[in-house]
Amino acid sequence: MTDTIFNRFIQDSRTQSAKKQLVGLLKEYQAGITAIRPPLSDLQTSYQECLDEFSRLRGGKLLLPYLGSGMGNGALVELADGSVKYDFINGIGVYWGHAHPDIVSAALDGALQNTVIQGNLQQNIQGVEVARILVKESGMDHCFFASSGAMAAENALKIAFQKRFPARRILAFERCFMGRTLLLSQITDKPAFREGLPDTAPIDYIPFYEEADPEGSTQRALHVLKTLISRYPNGHAAMVFEFIQGEGGYYAGAERFFKVLMEELKQTGIPILGDEIQTFGRLPRLFAFQYFNLSEYVDSVTVGKLTQICATLFKSNMAPRPGLLSQTFTGAAVAFEAAKVILNQLIHGGFLGEEGKIAKIHEYFVAHLKVLSEKYPHAVQGPFGCGAMIAFTPFNGNKEKADVFVQALFKEGLICFTAGQSVSRIRFLVPMGAITFDDIDRAVEIIEGTLLNLPFSQ
């Protein structure tokens, strides 16, 4: 396909020269972003007015007073008030690195394509390339794109409901998070997310793995699963597996725990759906189900966030009948081009494996947080998590104190987030495509300095 007019246009020396100039200019301006800095005094008032207006327009305040300027440099991001902060949550895991030159270059290719948002029935050739990568790396047979992680999850569930008709129940783990559509709000184990919403499908919950009691928690979960399957014969359309509970506070399962449950599900023919919207690309293996050696069990898996383009991947035995899946949009041409860059760097750029960058960054960050937990055991417990997903419990999980801590960290130049229900944790989703050991050093300094200045830290 090298003879298409578009390919000749993209490869034209003038196009390449213009792209090179723009990326070079970007790097020139990025050179001014090397460390955190406070807001510019002459922008603070207008910035606050803009935040207030946006809160009115969207019908509620932003959790953090964050409005980006559009510029960043790796793990650092510039806000519209001129301040610069370390971004260790990255849109809850969407970014590979701020203003990453490789992604900007690919995004320019996407911006030059003839469509902004590609439609389900009219997609560009880049969709084939992304689907090819995801199918090959996952071991699945099919890839259906979606415009959001929630829609990818909805599609996975629709496929399962159709396959198992007339089954209408769903199995999921306690403390799980799946999304905020009508159906996904029912599955998400947080009542506040479905307050005032009508019931859609009945959900049955299985207790999750407990690291402190591996065998006991495995047998308890198996007992509940068997009881529910017996209570509702042929009543379950699928079980959703969140292998590491992100919104729950970064609680990780274990290989044996998952396999024991999956063996039971396989015996009864209940499809196994992997929810990897947050875990994909953040572990020493590309997929969490691969990390836990579960490839032979999983029937369908959803990806999103880091992939830029969301998708439902599924095996041939789950293939739906014509008409079940469709939607107006699949994603922006820019997102497809960015996805290609991120996927190729993840797979071929030294990020995976026991000696890969993800494992090394995890080990380095966790070691620093362990030092803090030893120095301030009343304020820092943990750390927890896997790979690029790292958390600690502040002040015994007190939600009010955790929220104050996060806001104080933001003010001091480190962006993070809370997670968890009964126990609140401070969590990080580090920008793996750009993070350095020096960035982690600076972030830990901010955490310790901020901690010491909290009114309730002593």
Give the β-pairing of 380-386 and 329-332: unpaired
Residue 286 above 70 pLDDT?
yes
Query: Which one of 348, 381, 410 terminates a domain?
Result: 348
Query: Which one of 295, 326, 348 terminates a domain?
Result: 348
If asked whether residues 344 and 371 sit together in one domain, one would say no
- Give the pLDDT confidence of 28-39 residue by residue, as tens digits: 999 999 999 999
If asked whether residues 196 and 277 sit together in one domain, one would say yes
| CA–CA gap between residue 123 and residue 290 (Å, rounded) | 30
If asked whether residues 124 and 190 sit together in one domain, one would say yes
Q: What is the mean pLDDT of residues 92-109?
A: 95
- Give the pLDDT confidence of 391-422 residue by residue, as tens digits: 999 999 999 999 999 999 999 999 999 998 78
Per-residue model confidence (pLDDT) at position 347: 98
- Give the pLDDT confidence of 197-241 residue by residue, as tens digits: 999 999 999 999 999 999 999 999 999 999 999 999 999 999 999
In a domain, 104, yes or no: no
Ramachandran quadrant class, 61 (left: phi over 0; alpha: psi -120 to 50; beta: rest): beta
In a domain, 255, yes or no: yes
Whether the link from the prior residue into 383 is cis, omega within 30° of 0, is: yes
Contacts of 51 by beta carbon, 8 Å cutoff, 6+ apart = 62, 65, 67
Burial class (CB in 10 A: 0-12, 13-18, 19+), 239: buried
Per-residue model confidence (pLDDT) at position 405: 98
Query: Which one of 297, 319, 348 terminates a domain?
Result: 348
Of 191-200, 351-360, 433-442, where does mean pLDDT reach its minimum?
Answer: 191-200
If asked whether residues 165 and 221 sit together in one domain, one would say yes
Q: What is the mean pLDDT of residues 305-317?
A: 97
Per-residue model confidence (pLDDT) at position 119: 85
Four-CA torsion 249, 286, 254, 241, nearest 10 degrees:
70
CA gyration radius, the chain: 23
Residue 1's pLDDT band (cuts 50, 70, 90): low
If asked whether residues 242 and 382 sit together in one domain, one would say no
In a domain, 71, yes or no: yes
* Domain count along the chain: 2
Residue 145's pLDDT band (cuts 50, 70, 90): very high
| Amino acid in position 193 | F
If asked whether residues 277 and 240 sit together in one domain, one would say yes
Residue 114's pLDDT band (cuts 50, 70, 90): confident
Per-residue model confidence (pLDDT) at position 298: 98
Half-sphere exposure in the Cβ direction for 298 (13 Å, CA): 29
CATH number of the structural domain spanning residue 436: 3.90.1150.10
- Starting at the edge strand found earlier in the chain, the sheet holding 84-87 runs 68-73, 76-79, 84-87, 414-415
If asked whether residues 301 and 433 sit together in one domain, one would say no
- Give the pLDDT confidence of 316-340 residue by residue, as tens digits: 999 999 999 998 888 999 999 999 9
Q: What is the mean pLDDT of residues 67-82?
A: 97
Per-residue model confidence (pLDDT) at position 2: 64
- Give the pLDDT confidence of 270-279 residue by residue, as tens digits: 999 999 999 9
In a domain, 284, yes or no: yes
**Would the pTM of this model clear 0.85, i.e. be above it?**
yes
| Amino acid in position 62 | L
In a domain, 252, yes or no: yes
Residue-range definition of the domain harbouring residue 213: 114-348
If asked whether residues 370 and 279 sit together in one domain, one would say no
% of the chain surpassing 90 pLDDT: 93
- Give the pLDDT confidence of 344-388 residue by residue, as tens digits: 999 999 999 999 999 999 999 999 999 999 999 999 999 999 999
Residue 357 has which token pair? 């960058």
If asked whether residues 191 and 325 sit together in one domain, one would say yes
Per-residue model confidence (pLDDT) at position 120: 81
CA angle 184, 307, 443 (to 5 degrees): 95
- Helix runs in 71-195, H state only: 90-93, 101-111, 126-138, 149-164, 182-187
Per-residue model confidence (pLDDT) at position 379: 95
In a domain, 23, yes or no: no
Per-residue model confidence (pLDDT) at position 274: 98
If asked whether residues 83 and 181 sit together in one domain, one would say no
3 state DSSP class of 174: coil
CATH number of the structural domain spanning residue 197: 3.40.640.10
Average pLDDT, the chain: 96
| CA–CA gap between residue 70 and residue 100 (Å, rounded) | 12
Q: What is the mean pLDDT of residues 176-205?
A: 94
If asked whether residues 258 and 209 sit together in one domain, one would say yes
If asked whether residues 293 and 315 sit together in one domain, one would say yes
In a domain, 448, yes or no: yes
**Beta-bridge partner residues of 245:** 251
Nearest Cα neighbor of 96 from 329, 431, 374, 345 is 431
